[in-house]
Amino acid sequence: MKQDIIKLVVDWQRAKAMAGTHQTKTVSQVSGTTKKPFKQKGTGNARQGSLRSVQMRGGGISHGPVPRSHATKLPKKVRKLGLKHALSEKLIEGKLLIVDSLKLDESKTSNLVKLLNNFHGKSYFIVSGNEVDSNFSLAVQNIPNTISVPQIGTNVYDIIRHDYVLLSREAVDALEKRNPVVTEKSNILSEQNKFTFHVADSAEKASIKMAIEKIFEVKVKKVNIMNVKVTPSLRELIQVDKSELWKGKPHKPLTKGLCKTGGRNNLGRTTSWHRGGGHKRLYRIIDFKRNKQDIFATVERIEYDPNRTSFIALIKFDDGEYSYIIAPQKLVEGDRIVSSDNADIKVGNCLSLKSIPVGTTLHNVEMKIGKGGQIARSAGTSVNLVGKDSGYAQIKLRSGEFRLVPLDCKATIGVVSNPDQKNTNLGKAGRNRWLGWRPHVRGVAMNPVDHPHGGGEGKTSGGRHPVTPWGFPTKGKKTLIMARSVWKGPFVDGYLIKKVQKLIESGKSEMIQTWSRRSTILPFFVGVTFAVHNGNKFIPVTVSEEMVGKKLGEFSPTRTFYGHGADKKVNKGSTTAIAKSLRVSPRKLNLVATSIRNMKVSEAMVQLTFSPKRIAKDVKKCLQSAVANAENNFGLDIDALFVTSATVVTEVEGK
């Protein structure tokens, strides 16, 4: 038997029976004079207002008991369960007796006493039918520790405090049926031929109408639906349905403790405002890298993760290892997924961008090779693969921004789960506190030392456009210039295209001067020599196939630059390019130069493209200029070129 359920019901029953009428008199209720006990000044004591004060003898009581209800709330299902357990316990003990009838021909107590003495009990709880027989009631009144009630009065407290429980056959039938109580409102509705029902939130009027017509065999004229608002906090509450998610605990080997910082860094300074508190959480270790190649895994379950807005999926690999991943939409329990470049384009599979066809919807996209997914991990987010070119993939974000990502980076097929997260409404401030968010304090409510909007006499509006605590514009100020981020196609100066077309038609080999440094090099520019202005002078740039898709300004640096054209005498079979790089130490520059020394030019290009050093970009431009000189000025074979020397000097003399 569940003793805790029985205790809950008994406590509820006894608390409801408490009168709660105890009361004491306050200062205003005590009768007495309003005279001061002594003069107000000159005594050296504190002033005293009245002889009826709480600190005076015979005065009122402060914060004394007042009439109130001690009743508590207990669900009806728990009360029913408690009654079942109490009767079952008596039945197991053999102290639950059922008799055919509890009616007496005459109200003789002695006859009833003789009947009860056969059970050798000290106390009896007798339950009759809907009504107690009058003669039986009179006979029971004279017997100590014995009470008789109708079946509606059956309760847990009286059952467990008496030795024996006697039930009439009529009482047993009534307890088995125990129909719900018919209220006055229900009677009125029934008289008007109206009925009330509780239906699911997702039910539609058409389905409700069809069900009523089938049950009652009538024709329904109109269906009205009423949403019951329970409390103010539930009135605006909108939550995501998590009924289909895993109800148990997370996979323990993939969890670890999460220590909250309250928005402070290691120096104790606030770096993230309005954070603190919140429910205790376990951090789920998510596999963003998906680097377990060519091993299939089965989705065990979909779980809720309090640390992120999206759902997560627990997967089990064929070798027995478990892992958590971001769960995409339409991924269900039992699905088979894999991380492989040869995998199918299927939701949940992870592939390199070079193996994914253009137009595919992706999430959990890497920005650097092997670092793990960083783009599109939040609920309902995704990106589109719109193109591939020159070793990079072009992906379009939800904001309309375009990003270039190396083709060897990985991405997962599909859209992140829980797309309805954006439609949720917490309903009350307390739920935000459960999530670890503290109240946001307005700047106009602060002091001048705390915020630019602070201070002033009385209630002020701030006196300026909204700014952050550090004085930067906010509330609508654009922080991202989309004109620079949204891809509108390669820009090429129209006059430059006309000049190139005219030069090709004439068959001449002349140099075209241009100030358009941001013009993109098109395929039919190959072989044409441009004089690109760098702000000081025109730098000759001969276009090769490797330069297609890049800007003209990349090959006309604004710093001191040597090597374009045949300005210097060089040996046949070699070429040179010299660049001066500012704000970079010679040691760092020497590290990059040493890494490409004695390498093939093609391999050196790849090395510099993915180098984490910032100076590698300038060294790559210098190398591209040397390649262009070798091809156009000396007719060398590019595939056979090697980087024979890379020298770093602290200063370049001459111009």
pLDDT tens track for 59-91: 899 998 888 888 889 998 889 889 989 999 988
Q: How does pLDDT run across 200-218, given as a tens digit for each residue?
A: 767 778 888 888 888 778 8
CATH tag for 495-640 (out of 3.90.320.10, 3.40.50.20, 3.40.1400.10, 3.30.860.10): 3.30.860.10
Class of domain 76-177 (CATH, top level): alpha beta
199 touches 208 (CB < 8 A) = yes
Q: Choose from 128-142, 265-279, 550-564 the range with maximum mean pLDDT.
A: 265-279
CA distances from 569 to 529, 566, 575, 576, 634 (A): 20, 7, 10, 10, 11
In this predicted model, which residue has the larger pLDDT, 116 or 239?
239
Torsion of CA 44, 48, 53, 57, to 10 degrees: 40
Residues 6+ apart with CB under 8 A from 243: none
- pLDDT score, position 565: 45
- pLDDT score, position 225: 66
How are beta strands 164-168 and 124-127 bridged, if at all?
parallel
238-245 mean pLDDT: 92
- CA 136 to chain centroid, in Å, comes to 66
* DSSP notation for 241-291: --TTS--S---GGGEEE----TTB-TTS-BSSTTB------EEE-B--S--
- pLDDT score, position 548: 87
- pLDDT score, position 493: 86
Residue 11 banded pLDDT, cuts 50, 70, 90: very high
Helix crossing, 586-596 with 601-609: angle to 10°?
130
129-150 mean pLDDT: 86
Query: If you ran DSSP here, which 8-state letter would residue 327 be given?
Result: P
Residue 580 banded pLDDT, cuts 50, 70, 90: very low
Is the per-residue pLDDT at 47 higher than 90? no
Is 2.40.50.140 the CATH classification of the domain at 252-421?
yes
Residue 121 banded pLDDT, cuts 50, 70, 90: confident
512 touches 505 (CB < 8 A) = no
How are beta strands 561-562 and 538-542 bridged, if at all?
unpaired
In this predicted model, which residue has the larger pLDDT, 409 or 208?
409
622, amino acid identity: C
In this predicted model, which residue has the larger pLDDT, 331 or 198?
331
- pLDDT score, position 483: 60
d(CA 40, CA 34): 14
**Is residue 182 classed exposed, middle or buried when 0-12, 13-18 and 19+ CB atoms within 10 A define those classes?**
exposed
In this predicted model, which residue has the larger pLDDT, 225 or 204?
204
Share of the chain above pLDDT 70, in %: 87
Is the per-residue pLDDT at 267 higher than 90? yes
450-454 mean pLDDT: 94
Average pLDDT, the chain: 85
Is the per-residue pLDDT at 113 higher than 50? yes
97-106 mean pLDDT: 81
- pLDDT score, position 487: 56
- pLDDT score, position 620: 83
d(CA 4, CA 152): 24
596 touches 607 (CB < 8 A) = yes
- pLDDT score, position 436: 96
Q: Name which of 281, 273, 260, 306 is nearest 438 in CA terms.
A: 273
Is the per-residue pLDDT at 266 higher than 80? yes
d(CA 291, CA 576): 42
- pLDDT score, position 110: 84
What is the number of other CB atoms lying within 10 angstroms of the CB of residue 115?
A: 13
d(CA 315, CA 323): 5
169-195 mean pLDDT: 66
354 touches 408 (CB < 8 A) = yes
In this predicted model, which residue has the larger pLDDT, 481 or 158?
158
Lowest-pLDDT range, 192-196, 296-300, 313-317, 362-366?
Answer: 192-196
Residue 193 banded pLDDT, cuts 50, 70, 90: low
What is the number of other CB atoms lying within 10 angstroms of the CB of residue 102?
A: 22
- pLDDT score, position 649: 61
Q: Residue 146 pairs with which residues in a beta bridge?
A: 124
Q: How does pLDDT run across 324-377, given as a tens digit for each residue?
A: 999 999 999 999 999 999 999 999 999 999 999 999 999 999 999 999 999 999
Domain ranges of the chain: 76-177, 252-421, 495-640
pTM: 0.48
